[in-house]
């Protein structure tokens, strides 16, 4: 396996939520959880998405400077000592999906308000990873596509959430496609699925809710 220690990292948390607690879940994310995570040294930006067409309604993405952030003392402490509000909402999640990924290829810059998610659906061969990276570069030139990112999950760091099914859990690569409209990212995703032999019905599309950058908050003094 390639050494991804110096790659940028991405914490990927995708979930449904018990409808009885959905309002509290969103309040927790918006008023505590995103800021709490982005306040950790090495976290760069956190973004929330809501489903347009996806098997799970909510997605949280947290970018880090490198993969080492996920083994830092500060992150380990936050992960091991969740707030009571966090514990309650983790318990309300349904069909959760948590991955800690290395960003091993990026094409483009910036951020789009729409996101397409393409999962390979199987462990990747080295050739398939190269093909996915090349496809990300290719579709990044499509009008309306802003940036693409190839994610490779880390098996040791991608510990499942309490609500995450353990059976048939696949740590497959994920290609993220960000753009200015849902048709733009969907069309780009279809190019990828056709080339990779992935059913087009596996494409998920989501719309950005909001994002928080580390430069926008005051971290505690060292």
Helices (H), 65-125: 73-80, 84-90
pLDDT value, residue 5: 87
pLDDT value, residue 27: 98
pLDDT value, residue 102: 98
pLDDT value, residue 220: 61
User: Domains plus CATH for the chain?
Assistant: 9-216 (3.30.70.100)
pLDDT value, residue 213: 97
Each residue's pLDDT tens digit in the chain (222 positions)? 468 989 999 999 999 999 999 999 999 999 999 999 999 999 999 999 999 999 999 999 999 999 999 999 999 999 889 999 999 999 999 999 999 999 999 999 999 999 999 999 999 999 999 999 999 999 999 999 999 999 999 999 999 988 898 888 999 999 999 999 999 999 999 999 999 999 988 999 999 999 999 999 876 655
Contacts for 4 with CB less than 8 Å, ≥ 6 apart:
67, 102, 104, 152, 154
3-state helix, strand, coil in the chain (%, to 5): 35, 35, 35
């Amino acid at each position: 396996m390639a050494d991804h220690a110096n790659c940028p990292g991405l914490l990927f948390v995708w979930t449904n939520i018990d409808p009885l607690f959905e309002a509290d879940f969103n309040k927790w994310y918006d008023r505590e959880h995103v800021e709490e995570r982005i306040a950790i040294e090495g976290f760069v930006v956190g973004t929330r998405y809501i489903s347009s067409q996806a098997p799970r309604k909510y997605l949280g993405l947290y970018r880090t400077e490198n993969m080492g952030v996920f083994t830092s003392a500060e992150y380990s402490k936050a992960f091991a000592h969740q707030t009571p509000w966090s514990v309650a909402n983790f318990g309300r999640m349904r069909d959760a999906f948590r991955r800690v990924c290395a960003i091993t290829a990026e094409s483009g810059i910036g951020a789009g308000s729409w996101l397409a998610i393409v999962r390979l659906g199987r462990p990747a061969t080295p050739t398939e990873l190269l093909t996915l990276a090349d496809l990300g570069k290719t579709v990044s030139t499509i009008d309306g596509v802003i940036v693409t990112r190839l994610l490779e999950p880390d098996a040791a760091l991608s510990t499942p959430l309490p609500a995450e099914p353990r059976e048939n859990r696949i740590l497959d690569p994920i290609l993220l496609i960000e753009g200015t409209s849902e048709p733009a990212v969907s069309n780009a995703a279809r190019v990828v699925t056709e080339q990779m032999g992935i059913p087009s019905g596996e494409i998920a599309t989501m719309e950005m809710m909001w994002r928080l950058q580390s430069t926008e908050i005051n971290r505690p003094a060292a």
